[in-house]
Amino acid sequence: MLDTFEILTTSGVVLWSRTYASVNPSVINHFIADVLIEEKSTAAGANDGNSAATNPPYKHEQHTLRWALVKELNIIFVAVYRSLLHLSWIDKLVDNIKALFVSLYGDQLKKPNTTIVECVQFDEYFDQQLHELEGARSKADDATDEALESRDDTALGGVGEEPPLPPSLAFRGRAQNDAAKEEQSADSTPIMTPNNSRPNTPGGSHLVVAKAGPVAKMSRRAKKAQNAHLAPASSGDEAPARRSNTAKATKPKRGRKWDADGLADVDDGDVQLDYSAPNAVASDSDASAAGRSTAVEEVDASTWGSKTKGKFVLKDLGDEVQSILASAEAKNPATKTDASAGLVGSGLSTIGGLFRNFVGGKVLTKEDLDKAMKGMEEHLLKKNVAREAAVRLCEGVQKELVGVKTGSFESINARVEKAMEASLTKMLTPTSSLDLLREIDSIAAPPVTSPNKARPYVMSIVGVNGVGKSTNLSKICFFLLQNKYKVLIAAGDTFRSGAVEQLAVHVRNLKELTVREGGQVELYQKGYGKDAATVAKDAVAFAAQEGFDVVLIDTAGRRHNDQRLMSSLEKFAKLARPDKILMVGEALVGTDSVAQARNFNASFGPGRSLDGFIISKCDTVGDMVGALVSIVHATNVPVLFVGVGQHYSDLRNFSVRWAVEKLLSSS
């Protein structure tokens, strides 16, 4: 069962909600933070947020969320239910509620400077939709033969809520009907079925009108499924007539003539009576025409109504809902054709569009943006951003901009650049504070009130061969020594010849440099050939004993796609238990940066990932700092430091503004 359904704005105000079982609000907060702000789960271009059916469900603890977004109005629709339940109609519910809410309260949402939307009456609409979809669903489970049709489509509609009548009842009705006609056997014989639609009582002509039904918006397949479900729910008399609609939908309508004794003569002539779209994949104009024509029929269809439980109030509401849904659906293709007609159409609007290109105030369409986005993508690629990241960034920006009005005297390119700047800033900005010194203080020298005991702060550095792990480690060490910490360096690279000696040289240099300022640094080494994880563990224990503030662990460089070498990292993370694992990535690397970052991020086993990146060799690439973007894009792990030179002091905090400026600068 549904736990809760909420409609909220992007500014965080819940406009309307319905709760069946209380759900901790943190579930939805996590969803917003993870999916919409940090964009953790989105695979590149997988969804546009428009429809719940295409948005991947979000799972948090025991709950699953289905959601949809209306970008123009800044509202989000979220349905929460227990993950244990498999509710296939939820996405349809979310979409229907979305269409209803937008059409009912859309104009209220556009008002500036208010967060109030009067939507008390929406309860009824929601109940109606829920009953309808749930009803259709349960029926689909019961009635096995209908369920064969299409399980998903059953969720689409169906006005009835009653359990299906026993098949015998439906059969009796059909038999009656058969008596009046000739040799009808079953619905499945296509030629004969048109006769089925003749009611046995000529006065009941309303049943003929029931062709499209109130669900004009649905695909033919869906209609078929729906009608199939309606059939057993209604009384025996109506059943055959409606059932025939199912069959009728499967083949073209034909002209009929009536002979003297009331029998139908099927005419295969060229008179076309079927004005509906020939199939589901009709062209845009066809589809909109179909939508309109069925919507018109829906009006007379509503006069007969369904006698579900005899509740006419409910029925009226249901019809209103259906007509809203139908018009919302009909609008979709219509707007599309309008847009294209407007572009190639009257010269005046074209000139107006050109004019607005310069003056601003132009509503951006996908076509306008395509060229600008292509240029932006090209630009990013030139800055050494991996293709994958560049494409995703551009898609994000494009989605964000479609339908946005440009400002006064603002060209499309300027608008795109602005949006890209915002998007890059958002991506590169870390979620939590990255003040390393404060973190070290809180662990190595916790306040007296804190229950934690002082222990050394453990940092380890990983990376591919030759990116500068040892160099950056010494740079960090230098920085810490200047801040008067007692540092132990552990030689975890027990593999490469000369690695330990290299660190020893660094330690000697650092000692000489900082001895006057009071820094203390020692090297912990166990020679070559030992297991790096054990060495690291011993080093941490040693540091705790000797009262060191910080332990810096160097590791051997490893290729990120070598499973054998990477698997030892998991053991390393378990034994040494570093407070921070930093990965060194070089700014020189191109597309491979994405794979490097991903593989290293996943190599520490479940529950542990990288805490930050150090981007080395930034001084060698000039403006082309795209590797930064690729790495952060792939992992959502922030960049901590940037290496900008050969000296110990050439380490910098990462500044988002600096990176964004470099990325967008053109030269």
Partner 1 sequence: MTAMDTLKNALEASLKPTPTVMLVGLAVVLLFPVLLHFILSASTPYNTLPSVLLVGPSGAGKTALLTLYERGLLPKTEKPAPAQTHTSQTPASVELAVNEDGTSSFRDDLDASGSTAKKFLLVDTPGHAKLRRFALSRLRNIPTTTSTGKTSKAKKDSKLKAVVFVVDAAALADSDGRGDSLAATAEYLYEVLLALQKRMGSSQTSRMPSSVPVLVAANKLDLFSALPAALVKSQLETEIGRIRKTRSRGLLDSGVGADDLAATEESDNWLGEYGSEKFTFAQMLEFYTEVDVIGGNVAGDGPGADKWWKWIAERI
Q: Which is nearer to partner 1, 285 or 431 (CB)?
A: 431
Q: Which stretch binds partner 1 (CB under 8 A): 107-115, 142-150, 296-304, 571-579?
A: 107-115
d(CA 394, CA 374): 8
Three-class DSSP labels, 58-83: EEECCEEEEEEEECCCCEEEEEEEEC
Contacts of 598 (CB under 8 A, 6+ apart): 634, 635
Is 262 an interacting residue with respect to partner 1 (CB under 8 A)?
Answer: no
Residues 6+ apart with CB under 8 A from 290: 276, 277, 282
Sign of CA dihedral 601, 604, 610, 613: negative
- Cβ atoms 442, 534 nearer than 8 A: no
Query: What residues between 32 and 61 interact with partner 1 by CB under 8 A?
Result: 32-33, 36-38
Q: Is 166 helix (H, G, I), strand (E, B) or coil?
A: coil
Q: Which is nearer to partner 1, 321 or 443 (CB)?
A: 443
Whose Cβ is closer to partner 1: residue 35's or residue 225's?
A: 35
Which of 374, 405, 496, 577 is the binder for partner 1 (CB under 8 A)? Answer: 405
DSSP 184: -
Shortest distance, position 357 Cβ to partner 1, whole Å: 15
**Of 72, 78, 136, 128, nearest in space to 100 by CA:** 128
Q: Which of 21, 180, 437, 515 binds partner 1 (CB under 8 A)?
A: 437
Phi, psi of 553 (to 5 degrees): -110, 120
Do the beta carbons of residue 229 and residue 146 sit within 8 Å?
Answer: yes
Q: Answer whether 619's CB lies under 8 Å from 589's CB.
A: no
**Phi and psi for 139 in degrees, rounded to 5?**
-65, -40
Residue 653 contacts partner 1 per CB under 8 A: yes
- Which range of residues in 3-11, 180-188, 219-227, 560-568 is near partner 1 by CB under 8 A? 3-11
112 sits near partner 1 (criterion: CB under 8 A)? yes
Binding piece for partner 1, criterion CB under 8 A, among 424-432, 456-464, 502-510, 598-606: 424-432
- Residue closer to partner 1, measured from CB, 249 or 412: 412
Query: Shortest distance, CB of residue 68 to partner 1, whole angstroms?
Result: 15
Nearest to 452 by CA among 470, 463, 439, 436: 439
Taking CB under 8 A as the criterion, the residue among 441, 570, 592, 623 binding partner 1 is 441
Interface residue with partner 1, options 102, 165, 369, 401 (CB under 8 A) = 401
Candidates 431, 465, 561, 646: give the one binding partner 1 (CB under 8 A): 431
Could you say which residues in the range 456-515 bind partner 1, by CB under 8 A? 479, 482-483
Hey, what are 87's tokens? Answer: 């509710």
**217/38 Cα distance (integer angstroms):** 35
Going by C-alpha positions, the residue among 50, 74, 45 that lies closest to residue 332 is 50
Helix (H, G, I), strand (E, B) or coil at 470: helix
Q: How far is the CB of 136 from partner 1 (least distance, A)?
A: 30
Binding residue (CB under 8 A) for partner 1 from 119, 282, 404, 602 = 404
Say which residue the tokens 């939908």 belong to. Answer: 249
| Other CB atoms within 10 A of residue 128 CB | 23
Specify the 3-state DSSP secondary structure of 413.
Answer: helix
Contact 452, 443 (CB under 8 A): yes
Q: Is 8 in the site for partner 1 (CB under 8 A)?
A: yes
Q: In the complex with partner 1, which residue's Cβ is closer, 285 or 653?
A: 653
For position 545 contacting partner 1 by CB under 8 A, the verdict is: no
Does 29 engage in binding with partner 1 (CB under 8 A)? yes
Question: Which residue of 49, 57, 204, 430 would you call a contact of partner 1, by CB under 8 A?
Answer: 430
Choice between 208 and 437, CB closer to partner 1: 437
Comparing CB distances to partner 1, the nearer of 305 and 360 is: 360
* Region 323-382 residues binding partner 1, contact defined as CB under 8 A: 359, 361
The residue (of 9 and 332) whose beta carbon lies closer to partner 1 is: 9
Question: What does the alpha-carbon distance between residue 465 and residue 499 come to, in Å, rounded to a whole number?
Answer: 12
What's the min distance (Å) between Cβ of 88 and partner 1? Answer: 26
Question: Quick one: which segment of 22-30, 53-61, 151-159, 270-278 binds partner 1 (CB under 8 A)?
Answer: 22-30
- Interatomic CA distance for residues 64 and 86, integer angstroms: 10
| Shortest spacing between CB 568 and partner 1, in angstroms | 31
By CB under 8 A, tell whether 114 contacts partner 1.
yes
Half-sphere exposure of 123 (CA within 13 A, CB side): 4
- Could you tell me which stretch among 57-65, 132-140, 335-343, 419-427 binds partner 1 (CB under 8 A)? 419-427
For residue 494, give the 3-state DSSP assignment: coil
The nearer residue to partner 1, 608 or 662, going by C-beta atoms, is 662
Burial (0-12, 13-18, 19+ Cβ within 10 Å), 504: middle
Measured CA to CA, the distance from residue 393 to residue 428 in angstroms comes to 12
d(CA 198, CA 206): 11
> Per CB under 8 A, does 659 bind partner 1?
yes
Q: Taking contact as CB under 8 A, which single stretch among the options 2-10, 59-67, 122-130, 270-278 is the one that binds partner 1?
A: 2-10
Name which of 111 and 559 has its Cβ closer to partner 1: 111
CA distance 397 to 391: 10
Task: Name residue 584's beta-bridge partners.
Answer: 463, 614
Contacting residues for 605 by C-beta, under 8 A, at least 6 apart: 570, 573, 574
To the nearest whole angstrom, how small is the minimum distance from the Cβ of residue 536 to partner 1? 25
Rounded to whole angstroms, how far apart are CA atoms 73 and 107? 9
Residues 279, 281, 284, 290: is their CA dihedral positive or negative? positive
Nearer to partner 1 by Cβ, of 316 and 619: the residue is 619
Among 24, 88, 121, 429, binds partner 1 (CB under 8 A): 429
* Residues numbered 580-639 forming contacts with partner 1, rule: CB under 8 A: 618
Size of the site for partner 1 (CB under 8 A): 70
Only one of the segments 23-31, 89-97, 206-214, 387-395 lies at the binding site for partner 1 (rule: CB under 8 A); that segment is 23-31
- CB atoms closer than 10 angstroms to residue 566: 18
119 touching partner 1, by CB under 8 A:
no
Give which of 119, 85, 115 is closest to 11, Cα–Cα: 115
Q: Is residue 652 a contact residue for partner 1 (CB under 8 A)? A: yes
Q: What are phi and psi of 439, to 5 degrees?
A: -65, -45
Distance, CA of 484 to CA of 489 (rounded, Å): 15
Find the shortest distance in angstroms from Cβ 459 to partner 1. Answer: 15
Does 70 bind partner 1 (CB under 8 A)? Our answer is no
13 binds partner 1 (CB under 8 A): yes
Q: State yes or no: residue 450 binds partner 1 (CB under 8 A).
A: yes
User: Per CB under 8 A, does 9 bind partner 1?
Assistant: yes
The residues binding partner 1 (CB under 8 A) are 6, 8-14, 17, 25, 28-29, 32-33, 36-38, 74, 110, 112-116, 359, 361, 400-401, 404-405, 407-408, 418-419, 421-422, 425-426, 429-433, 435-438, 441-442, 447, 449-451, 479, 482-483, 618, 641-642, 644, 651-655, 657-659, 661-662
